[in-house]
Amino acid sequence: MVDDAALVEAWRRGDRGAGSTLFERHYDGVVRFFRNKVGDVVASDLVQKTFLACFEGLAAYRGEASLRTYLYAIAYRLLCKHYEAQRRNRIDLGSVSVHDLGHSPSEVLAAREEQRLMLAALRRLPIEYQALLELHYWEQMTAADAALVLEIPEGTAKTRLRRGRQLLAAQLAALASSPELLTRTNSDLEGWARGLREQVLPAPPRGAR
């Protein structure tokens, strides 16, 4: 498989097919990033804006970070701008959650009770912690790459990942409908979280392959 760096160079030389390949390769991940935070309608708009900003900026992209990291950094900045535009002022994403902002991206459905609990708990974390954990669990992103996305030091990203797990555990305990459900969820926390990866994506249109 041709790597992203080679595709970027091909795109710069005018190969539109290379741009299409980059879009298809990273589309699902960007949809995941937005969909559990803003729901389908807003997510669709932000996904388009993310890829547009990415391709418009590729001429100046020098590969200091991976293209994927560069793309998610754009997505995170757009997410921040979206929330600030709604509130009409700057908000602290380290303290406010999707739930606090009144968002209920109910289009995201999970098959298992443990995963529904996980989704609800993630939405009650401060948005910065939610983003970090989802990048870690769903995109298998390292702390170093996540730090670039959120524009924070790597050490801070590691600390916040640990703190994020603690906050997630507390929310799971608060929201679980029974001790048995909490025990099942905690028994394989990373497994349940990673298992949500594809379920966060919209269902394909009927008849689509």
Q: Is residue 58 part of a domain?
A: yes
Torsional sign, CA 150, 83, 39, 171: positive
pTM for the model:
0.87
Q: Is residue 205 part of a domain?
A: no
* pLDDT value, residue 28: 92
Q: Would you place residue 209 in the very low, low, confident or very high pLDDT band (cuts 50, 70, 90)?
A: very low
The CATH number for 49's domain is 1.10.1740.10
Tens digit of each residue's pLDDT (9 = 90 or more) over 139-148:
999 999 999 9
Q: Is residue 207 part of a domain?
A: no
* pLDDT value, residue 198: 80
- Which comes out higher in pLDDT, residue 151 or 41? 151
Q: Is residue 86 part of a domain?
A: yes
Using alpha carbons, select from 45, 35, 3 the residue that is nearest to residue 22: 3
Q: Is residue 53 part of a domain?
A: yes
Q: Is residue 209 part of a domain?
A: no
Q: Which domain holds residue 40?
A: 4-195
Whole-number Cα distances in Å, 183 to 143, 188, 192: 28, 9, 12
Q: Is residue 77 part of a domain?
A: yes
Task: Please name the helix (run of DSSP H) or strand (run of DSSP E) that holds residue 172, with its range, or none.
Answer: helix 154-175
Count up the domains in the chain and report the number. Answer: 1
Q: How high is the mean pLDDT of the chain? A: 87
Q: Is residue 203 part of a domain?
A: no
